[in-house]
Amino acid sequence: MGNGPMIQAAFPVHPRLGVPFPRRSIISLFRSFSTRETAGSNTLEQPRSLPTSGFEVLESDRPVEEKELHEYREHRFYPVRMGEIFQDRYQVVTKLGFGSCSTNWLARDLRDHLYVALKVYVNSSLVHRELPCYHHISPRVAESSHQGRGNIRRFLDSFEITGPHGKHIILVLEAAQMSLFDMKHVFQPNGFHEEVVRGAMTELLEALDFLHTEGEVIHTDVHYGNMLLGSPDNNMFHRLEEGEMTSPVTRKPVSPDRTIYLSRLIATIQDGPLLLSDFGEAAIGPGPHSGEIMPREYRAPEILLHVEWSYPVDVWSAGLTAWELLEPNRLFTARDENGDANDAAHLAQLIAALGPPPREFLAKNPERKSDFWDDQGEWLGAAPIPHARTLEALETESENKSGFLQFLRKALTWMPEERATAKELLQDPWLTGKQN
C-alpha cells in the first residue's frame, strides 16, 4: 500500500499499520439489513467551528489525494473547505475520498440532524449520468418491495454551486462506511473468507436483479470499489466528526484559496447492508447500447469486440468481483508482459481462461474480429496466449474450488446471451451453500 493515496484514520491507530480485523465480525457484515434513521425536527442545528490549527501540514511539492491523479487539473475541482456550509444546511466535517471526477465529503445535515455524504463533481463534467439515473431510479426504489432495493445507495438531494472556475453539481447521498476495496486492501489483502464473499455477492446480485428487472438500469461500473458498507446507525459517523475536532486531518495548502485534505478512514466498522454506489456511468433502459464502458480490466467480451451491450455486462463484472473479493490478484490484467494495457493481451488472457470464442461471437463484428482472428477463427497472435493462466491454475483460495469455478463460468461467458442473469446466479449452489 506504500504507493497508494494517503488516508487518515478516524482514530489514533492507523488501520494500515496493523489494526486487527475480526473475521467473525466481517462475516456478519453482509447479513444484516437495518432500519435507517430518517429526518428529525426542522429546527436548525448550530454549525460547529472546526479547528484551524493542530494539524500536520505537508510540503508543497508532495502530491497527495486527488493531486496524485494523472488527469488532475486544479481548476476542475471545487476547493471545498472544512466547516464549509452548503445550501445553509450541509456542513462539511471531514473528507471521505476522491476520484477523477469528484471529491467526497462527510457532512452534517443541520436541518434533518443526520450525517450525509456530499459528492462534489468537477466543473468539466459536461454529461451528468448519475443525477438523471437517480431521478429515474429513486421512485422505483421507493415503490418496490424487491429485497435488492435496500442494496442501492440512497439519493437524498442535489444542488449546483458556482466555484472559482465554473459550476459544480453536488449530490447528497446516504452516508456509508468503507468500500470493500478499502476493506480488502487495509485488512484482508489476500482476500476475504469464502463465507464473506458469498454474503457480499448475494447482496450485490440482489441489487443487480433489482436494477435489471425493476429499475431498468445497467450500472456498467460494478466492482468492489463501488460496493460500500452501509451503516446500522447514522450516529456512528459522529466519531468521524469528533475525530476532526480533536485530531484534525493532515492537509496541504496549495494556494490561499485551496487546501488538499487527507481522506479520513473509519478504523472501526459495524455491521450494515452492502450498498451498490456510483451511478455515474450507468445507462437507463435495456438498450441495446453501444460505446466503450467499464474499467479496462473488467471489460466484457462484447465491449472488446465493439458490439452492442445490455444487462449481461453487469453480470460479467459481478463474476470478476467475486474473484477479486476471494483471491489476492486480478483474474485479468489486460496488460502485456511489459505492463502495457492493450486489448490483444486482454483477449489472449480471456482465451487462456475461457477457451477460444465461439464463431457466432466473432461473427457479431467481422471487422473488429479481423484485427485478432483469421477467417477460420484462429488467433493471429497479436499477443501470446498465456496458456498457464487457466481458472483452475489461478484459483487458490476457495474451499469449494469446483463449485466456485462453476459459479464463475456462469457469469464469465463469451456470448452475453449465454450468461446467467443476476436472478439465476442467486440460485447457484456455491452461492447458497447448497451442494448438488
Q: What pLDDT sits at residue 32?
A: 36
List of the chain residues with pLDDT < 70: 1-41, 125-126, 435-436
Q: What pLDDT sits at residue 63?
A: 80
For residues 203 and 150, the answer to whether their CB atoms sit within 8 Å is no
Total count of residues recorded for the chain: 436
pTM of the model: 0.88
Q: Give the dihedral sign, CA 171/173/178/179.
A: negative
Q: What pLDDT sits at residue 436?
A: 53
Of residues 221, 271, 336, 428, which has the active-site annotation?
A: 221
Q: What pLDDT sits at residue 283?
A: 96
Q: What pLDDT sits at residue 14?
A: 29
Q: What pLDDT sits at residue 68?
A: 78
| 221 belongs to the catalytic site | yes
